[in-house]
Amino acid sequence: MARRDYYAVLGISRSASSEDIKRAFRGLALKHHPDRNPGDAESERRFRECAEAWECLGDPEQRARYDRLGPLYTPTGRPPSPDELNDIFRDALNGLFRRRRPGGAGEDLRYTLTISLEEASTGVERTLDVPRTVRCKKCDGTGDHAEGRTPCAPCAGTGRSPTRRLLRTDCATCDGRGYVPARKCDRCGGEGRHPLEDKLKVKVPAGVATGQKLKLKLKGHEPAAFAGTTPGPAGDLYVVVQVDDHPLFRRRGADLLCEVPVTFPEVALGADIAVPTLAGNTTIRIPSGTPSGKTFRLPGRGLPTVEGGGKGDLHVRVVVEVPTALNADQRAAVSALGERLGQDAHPARRAWEQTLRSRR
């Protein structure tokens, strides 16, 4: 069922022409196409919404049926199920009993911002291109010209539907205005607001993690201001942070984990090895006889916490890389080394073999 306003999804008015609909869909589809936004779940969701809206509004017959049925519209033409009717009735009751501010408030917006782990470590300021709906300045949000307004006859100027008094829905003739405009505003098409690509700056604090939200007050959609009403405040913009995966580090809260491949001579004899940090490379000393899988902690080399109070640690795990594709000389050298080391150099292996023999 059409639980979303397809016109709002495409950012167009209900009086938009077929060309306007096609132009709006193409622009949004290009902006949110998955090929241009790999891994961005929000863009993928917006692309599906736009495609669904286009399938309906791009077909004149489907559009006429959608305009006629509203939330009862289904692409297949089937009647709504009892559960779907219950959802519509519940939404209507929520709108009836929810405390409304004068003129109504604008809708909130959600924006997914992807940053790198380095940016999450230091914090970053970004400029976002946010498609939002703003109040029309030409008509001051009323959607029409003040001259020639006549009271709406079906609702007697109340703006309320005369046939569904329990739910007190807006009058379908005047769209809740209480009057019929003589001439619609040519800037917003009578909607009282219009879409705009806005540039907004957001400061991302250091230590932010995937899923955290940053709130930009009053940067969501702005409501219209129909005659006789005071427009409510604009909605808010919620920026949801997505921190990209890093090729070297894994994150665990404020700590970072990193695996460093080392050679057998390095762990057997001890060595200074280079390890990465978010601020650049550093060197640590691994003692002789270090086993594969040993983890070394570098205090304060992790991520800062959003609340402050220090940084996490960097945990470096060394993993011995086993040589592969040895030539004949190399194989002979390894074999000779194994014979010279003997069992005394491998106490764990010797204990393991003794345990096996005891089970026979």
Q: What is the pLDDT of residues 33-61, one digit of tens each?
A: 888 888 777 778 888 888 888 888 888 88
Structure tokens at 115: 């940053």
Residue 343 lies in a domain: yes
Q: Is residue 260 part of a domain?
A: yes
Residue 125 and residue 44 share a domain: no
68 and 35 in one domain? yes
> Residue 340, class by beta-carbon neighbours within 10 Å (0-12 exposed, 13-18 middle, 19+ buried)?
exposed
> Exposed, middle or buried by CB within 10 Å (0-12, 13-18, 19+), for 28?
buried
- Tell me, yes or no, whether 142 and 86 share the same domain: no
The first and second tokens of residue 136, run together, are 């029309």
Q: How confident is the model at residue 297 (pLDDT cuts 50, 70, 90)?
A: very high
259/241 same-domain check: no
Average pLDDT in the chain: 83
Same domain? For 222 and 310 the reply is no
Residues 11 and 94 in one domain: yes
Contacts made by residues 54-58, CB under 8 angstroms, sequence distance 24+: 54/10, 54/21, 54/25, 54/29, 56/2, 56/6, 57/6, 57/7, 57/10, 57/21, 58/18, 58/21, 58/22, 58/25
Overall average pLDDT of the 185-205 stretch: 90
pLDDT at position 227 over 60: no
Please list, in sequence order, all residues whose beta carbon lies within 8 angstroms of the beta carbon of residue 140, skipping any fewer than 6 positions away: 225
pLDDT tens digits for range 126-159: 999 999 999 998 888 888 876 667 888 878 887 7
Same domain, 124 and 192: yes
- Looking at residue 1, its pLDDT comes to 42
Q: Is residue 264 part of a domain?
A: yes
Q: What is the pTM of this model?
A: 0.61
Residue 310 per-residue DSSP state: -
Neighbours of 338 (CB within 10 A): 11
Q: Domain boundary at 245, 265, 282, which?
A: 245
Query: What integer is the mean pLDDT of 122-127?
Result: 96
* Total domains in the fold of the chain: 4
Distance of CA 94 to the CA centre of its chain: 27
Residues 41 and 135 in one domain: no
108 and 126 share one domain: yes
Longest dimension (CA), the chain: 105
267 lies in which domain range?
Answer: 250-322
- Name, of 134-138, 228-232, 272-276, the range with top average pLDDT: 272-276
Q: What average pLDDT does this structure show over 192-199?
A: 91
Q: Of all residues in the chain, what percent carry a pLDDT higher than 90?
A: 42
